[in-house]
């Protein structure tokens, strides 16, 4: 885990940015899989450079770090976050999922949501999987892929 911290610090330094703190937490998904949550705490100004255009910078940094550590994190899934952005977004998406399900029930019509990343669609799929009367389906091609939420047939 220290190696991951050092590499991230060097990458940020090369970009002229600085991490105030890097926290890594491991959670077990199952006996074979674990999630490594890496949260980088940095100034709002520095963080903003990663959050533009749907957090493309954050996603790119996460991809690079995953590639660099794919052998060492075998059996692990690495999730990179900056200033808790993904956790806040996850909460927003969970709220959106519940509100969308309520609207589908009320109107008895399917709702096609705005285009989202695979990560965001997955959050909504998982949240609505808890609802026995609601089904979700992804349609379209990236980057316009969307979720359709409807009542269970």
How far apart (Å, rounded) are the C-alpha atoms in residues 113 and 96?
Answer: 10
125/78 same-domain check: no
Residues in the chain: 153
In tens, the pLDDT along 118-145 reads 889 999 999 999 999 999 999 999 989 9
pLDDT of residue 45: 92
Q: Are residues 26 and 99 in the same domain?
A: no
Q: How far apart are CA 35 and CA 76, in angstroms?
A: 5
**Do 68 and 109 have their domain in common?**
no
Residue 24 and residue 66 in one domain: yes
Both 8 and 39 in a single domain?
Answer: yes
Query: For the domain that residue 94 is a member of, what is the CATH number?
Result: 3.30.1370.50
Tell me the per-residue pLDDT of 25-77, one tens digit each, with 9 for 90 and over: 988 765 667 888 899 999 999 999 898 887 889 989 999 998 888 777 666 78
If asked whether residues 58 and 97 sit together in one domain, one would say: no
Are 38 and 79 in contact by the 8 Å Cβ rule? The answer is yes
Kindly state whether residues 17 and 66 are assigned to the same domain. yes
Looking at the structure, tell me whether residues 10 and 67 fall in a common domain. Answer: yes
Domain count, the chain: 2
The enclosing domain of 34 has a CATH number of: 3.30.300.20
**Torsional sign, CA 122, 128, 130, 136:** negative
Q: What is the pLDDT of residue 75?
A: 64
d(CA 24, CA 6): 12
pLDDT at position 32 is 66
Q: Which domain holds residue 47?
A: 2-83
| 109 shares a domain with 74 | no
- Note whether 97 and 78 are same-domain residues: no
Domain boundary pick from 83, 115, 137: 83
Q: Which of 58, 83, 108 corresponds to the end of one domain?
A: 83
The pLDDT value given to residue 5 = 92
Tokens representing 20? Answer: 């105030």
pTM, to two decimals: 0.75
Instruction: Return the number of other C-beta atoms located less than 10 Å from residue 29's C-beta.
Output: 11
**Are residues 98 and 46 part of one domain?**
no
Answer with the one of 83, 106, 123 that is the final residue of a domain. 83
- The arithmetic mean of pLDDT across residues 71-96, rounded, is 86
According to DSSP, residue 115 is labeled P
- Enter the tokens of residue 100: 């969308």
Residues 72 and 104 in one domain: no
């Amino acid at each position: 885990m220290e190696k991951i911290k050092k590499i991230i610090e060097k990458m940020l330094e090369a970009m002229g940015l600085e991490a105030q703190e890097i926290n890594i937490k491991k959670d077990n998904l199952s006996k074979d899989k674990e999630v490594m949550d890496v949260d980088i705490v940095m100034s709002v100004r520095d963080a903003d450079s990663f959050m533009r255009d749907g957090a493309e910078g954050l996603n790119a940094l996460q991809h690079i770090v995953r590639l660099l550590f794919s052998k060492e994190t075998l059996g692990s899934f690495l999730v990179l976050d900056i200033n808790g952005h993904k956790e806040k977004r996850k909460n927003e998406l969970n709220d959106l999922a519940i509100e969308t399900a309520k609207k589908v029930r009320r109107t008895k019509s399917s709702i096609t949501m705005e285009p989202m990343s695979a990560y965001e669609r997955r959050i909504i799929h998982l949240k609505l999987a808890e609802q026995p009367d609601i089904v979700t389906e992804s349609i379209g091609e990236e980057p316009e892929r969307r979720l359709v939420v409807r009542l269970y047939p």
